[in-house]
């Protein structure tokens, strides 16, 4: 991978600003993440300044954040753009969508809908979004602010962990589908919140669902490595976009670039970062979890954590990418595979990320029993451990090293779960041979209390997964000589 060190290199490619590094809308966040100079785009774009000015020149009736525009606003914007940039008349019928949807369009999408003007629109929108995000971020108490704790009730894990991690699944469903985008937009608009970090989930401690509270800020800083700042942005962004995925999705479906702005923000964790002031959430605010410095804090740097964060976003802003099918059982569906992969790629700064690659990473989780595939349903996976446990897993990982693998774990496949030391601990193990996974997940919601995951955990890395469920669970060991996984057959 390449991250570009330092400031963004100029990118050869075309459009200028697009590249601020990344795809658009997201940039905003990226900007935070990558401390480039974020506030203003200036340096990298040639045209730079002008655009900034545009913002101030927008029709007064238009909210500064294009994501909250309604259809009429979009029309107003287009008309303004036509005049302001002296571009060819735009077929407004091609933009029967709200601002949020328009912001989700990729440069390519925009170019298709507005030949000859797509780049301009894209660039302007990008800037407007970015500026809006910046403003919001600056607000002291932006919505983001946590404060509230309502989101998800925490499920007490008093009970054994297990699948039911969250109880409430609210309306996810409603969010699903096509309406997802609009609903999400709605939420955003209403809450206005926008942006900012969803739930940082867990990261550390908290875990997602449950602790939603924290969520809010959670963030930590992106992984991006911290390399300092570099923001880097690879340049490929667009290309990828073009090439792959994205379906040009209709306005309703957001594609990847979509919400970036709203992506969870995972700040880099630098060792040093102190907790910081309470006030600063923005980039700095991280911290949520008081203590645990010790923990590994993965804040979104790990794929499962990233997914949990999106899934448990209090505002449900990512349901168009990934959503729970049954939160209690941990079953979720990747609604927009390529879009989600893009988000993940952005998060990791691997802009060429695609679903194929991301799914490979997911498959690695099979062996450690973090995930399992819901057979028969495309793009559906199931978390085998609730967030809290996952969190523990982090520890486990760490422990792992120290601990000897001990237990069985011979070769790759099989294994048992061993609990490492977990606090609560469990010990457990269980394995079974399973054959089929739970496909049903939904169907068996509780049925499987936890455990059910029958699978064989292989390990690979983690040593024993603990099972989550109760602390005591049975152990089943089974060895499976076979290859791992879930898909027994195969």
Taking CB under 7 A as the criterion, which residues in 402-421 touch DNA?
A: 412
- Residue pair 196/216 in contact by the 8 Å Cβ criterion: yes
According to the binding rule CB under 7 A, does residue 7 interact with DNA?
A: no
Smallest Cα–Cα separation from 384: which of 451, 435, 447? 451
Beta strands in 252-373 (DSSP E): 322-326, 331-334, 371-373
Q: 145 or 397, CB closer to DNA? A: 397
Residues 197-225 as b or e (16 or more Cβ within 10 Å = b)? bbbbbbbbbbbbbbbbbbbbbbbbbbbbb
According to the binding rule CB under 7 A, does residue 435 interact with DNA?
A: no
According to the binding rule CB under 7 A, does residue 355 interact with DNA?
A: yes
Q: How far is the CB of 1 from DNA (least distance, A)?
A: 4
According to the binding rule CB under 7 A, does residue 266 interact with DNA?
A: no
Q: How far is the CB of 135 from DNA (least distance, A)?
A: 30
CA distance 166 to 157: 9
Q: Count of residues for the chain?
A: 490
Pairing of strands 371-373, 322-326: unpaired
Determine the interface stretch with DNA among 13-21, 113-121, 295-303, 467-475 (rule: CB under 7 A).
295-303
Q: Containing H/E element for 182?
A: helix 179-191
According to the binding rule CB under 7 A, does residue 227 interact with DNA?
A: yes
What does the block give as tokens for 61? 């009736």
Determine the interface stretch with DNA among 256-264, 351-359, 419-427, 445-453 (rule: CB under 7 A).
351-359
According to the binding rule CB under 7 A, does residue 364 interact with DNA?
A: yes
Determine the interface stretch with DNA among 126-134, 150-158, 179-187, 223-231 (rule: CB under 7 A).
223-231
Q: 165 or 344, CB closer to DNA? A: 344
- Residue pair 54/124 in contact by the 8 Å Cβ criterion: yes
According to the binding rule CB under 7 A, does residue 479 interact with DNA?
A: no
For 211-248, give the secondary structure using H, E and C: HHHHHCCCCCCCCHHHCCCCCCCCCCHHHHHHHCCCCC
Among 76, 247, 359, 471, binds DNA (CB under 7 A): 359
Residue matched to tokens 């049903």: 440
According to the binding rule CB under 7 A, does residue 379 interact with DNA?
A: yes
Task: Please tell me whether residue 325 adopts helix, strand or coil conformation.
Answer: strand
Q: 373 or 422, CB closer to DNA? A: 373
Q: How far is the CB of 90 from DNA (least distance, A)?
A: 30
CA distance 322 to 333: 6
CA distance 176 to 183: 9
Q: 429 or 461, CB closer to DNA? A: 461
CA distance 85 to 214: 44
Taking CB under 7 A as the criterion, which residues in 300-319 touch DNA?
A: 301-304
> How many residues form the binding site for DNA (CB under 7 A)?
48
Residue matched to tokens 């340049």: 235
**276's torsion region: left (phi>0), alpha (psi -120 to 50) or beta?**
left
According to the binding rule CB under 7 A, does residue 149 interact with DNA?
A: no
According to the binding rule CB under 7 A, does residue 490 interact with DNA?
A: yes
Determine the interface stretch with DNA among 149-157, 160-168, 378-386, 417-425 (rule: CB under 7 A).
378-386
Residue 118's φ and ψ, nearest 5 degrees, are -55, -45
Q: What is the CA radius of gyration of the chain?
A: 22
CA distance 48 to 55: 12
Q: How far is the CB of 72 from DNA (least distance, A)?
A: 35
According to the binding rule CB under 7 A, does residue 6 interact with DNA?
A: no
According to the binding rule CB under 7 A, does residue 83 interact with DNA?
A: no
CA distance 145 to 68: 20
According to the binding rule CB under 7 A, does residue 1 interact with DNA?
A: yes
Q: 16 or 232, CB closer to DNA? A: 232
According to the binding rule CB under 7 A, does residue 483 interact with DNA?
A: yes
Among 196, 462, 477, 478, binds DNA (CB under 7 A): 462
Among 167, 275, 280, 361, binds DNA (CB under 7 A): 361
CA distance 264 to 198: 5
Q: How far is the CB of 216 from DNA (least distance, A)?
A: 23
Q: How far is the CB of 345 from DNA (least distance, A)?
A: 7
Q: How far is the CB of 158 from DNA (least distance, A)?
A: 27
Among 358, 392, 446, 468, binds DNA (CB under 7 A): 358
Q: How far is the CB of 88 from DNA (least distance, A)?
A: 33
Q: 145 or 352, CB closer to DNA? A: 352
Q: Is the dihedral of CA 402, 397, 464, 292 positive or negative?
A: positive
According to the binding rule CB under 7 A, does residue 34 interact with DNA?
A: no
CA distance 305 to 361: 13
Q: 107 or 373, CB closer to DNA? A: 373
According to the binding rule CB under 7 A, does residue 231 interact with DNA?
A: no
- Residue pair 332/311 in contact by the 8 Å Cβ criterion: yes
Smallest Cα–Cα separation from 324: which of 382, 263, 261? 382
**192's torsion region: left (phi>0), alpha (psi -120 to 50) or beta?**
left
Residues that bind DNA (CB under 7 A): 1-3, 225-227, 268-269, 301-304, 337, 344-345, 348, 350, 352-353, 355-361, 363-364, 366, 373, 375, 378-380, 394, 397, 400-401, 412, 461-462, 483-487, 489-490
């Amino acid at each position: 991978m390449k991250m570009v060190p330092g400031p963004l290199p100029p990118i050869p490619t075309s459009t200028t600003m697009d590249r601020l590094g990344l795809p658009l809308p997201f940039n905003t966040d990226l900007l935070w993440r990558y401390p480039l100079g974020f506030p203003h785009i200036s340096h990298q774009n040639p045209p730079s300044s002008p655009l900034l000015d545009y913002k101030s020149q927008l029709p007064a009736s238009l909210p500064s954040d294009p994501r909250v525009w309604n259809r009429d606003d979009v029309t107003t914007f287009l008309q303004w753009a036509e005049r302001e940039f002296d571009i060819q008349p735009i077929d407004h019928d091609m933009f029967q969508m709200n601002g949020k949807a328009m912001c989700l369009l990729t440069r390519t999408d925009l170019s298709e809908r507005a030949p000859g003007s797509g780049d301009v629109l894209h660039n302007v929108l990008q800037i407007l979004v970015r500026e809006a995000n910046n403003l919001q971020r600056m607000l002291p108490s932006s919505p983001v602010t946590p404060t509230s704790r309502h989101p998800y009730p925490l499920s007490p894990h008093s009970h054994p962990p297990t699948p039911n991690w969250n109880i409430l699944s609210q309306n996810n469903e409603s969010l699903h589908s096509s309406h997802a985008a609009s609903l999400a937009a709605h939420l955003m608009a209403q809450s206005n919140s926008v942006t900012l970090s969803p739930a940082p989930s867990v990261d550390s401690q908290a875990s997602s669902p449950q602790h939603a509270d924290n969520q809010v800020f959670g963030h930590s800083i992106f992984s991006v490595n911290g390399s300092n700042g570099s923001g880097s942005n690879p340049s490929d962004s667009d290309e990828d976009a073009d090439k792959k995925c994205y379906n040009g999705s209709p306005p309703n479906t957001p594609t990847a670039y979509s919400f970036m702005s709203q992506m969870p923000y995972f700040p880099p964790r630098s060792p040093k970062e102190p907790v910081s002031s309470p006030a600063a959430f923005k980039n700095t605010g991280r911290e949520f979890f008081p203590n645990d410095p010790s923990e590994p804090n993965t804040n979104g740097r790990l794929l499962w954590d990233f997914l949990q964060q999106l899934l448990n976003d209090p505002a449900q802003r990512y349901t168009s990418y990934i959503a729970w099918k049954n939160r209690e059982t941990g079953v979720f569906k990747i609604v927009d595979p390529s879009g989600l992969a893009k988000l993940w790629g952005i998060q990791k700064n691997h802009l060429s990320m695609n679903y194929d690659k991301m799914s490979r990473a997911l498959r690695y989780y099979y062996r450690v029993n973090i995930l399992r595939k819901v057979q028969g349903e495309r793009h559906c996976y199931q978390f085998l451990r609730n967030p809290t446990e996952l969190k523990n897993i982090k520890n486990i990982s760490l422990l792992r090293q120290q601990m000897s693998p001990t237990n069985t774990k011979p070769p790759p496949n099989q294994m048992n779960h061993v609990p490492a030391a977990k606090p609560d601990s469990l010990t457990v193990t269980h394995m079974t041979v399973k054959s089929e996974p739970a496909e049903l997940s939904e169907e068996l919601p509780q049925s499987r209390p936890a455990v059910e995951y029958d699978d064989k955990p292989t390990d690979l890395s983690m040593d024993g997964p603990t099972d989550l469920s109760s602390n005591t669970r049975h152990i089943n060991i089974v060895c499976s000589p076979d290859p791992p996984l879930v898909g027994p057959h195969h």
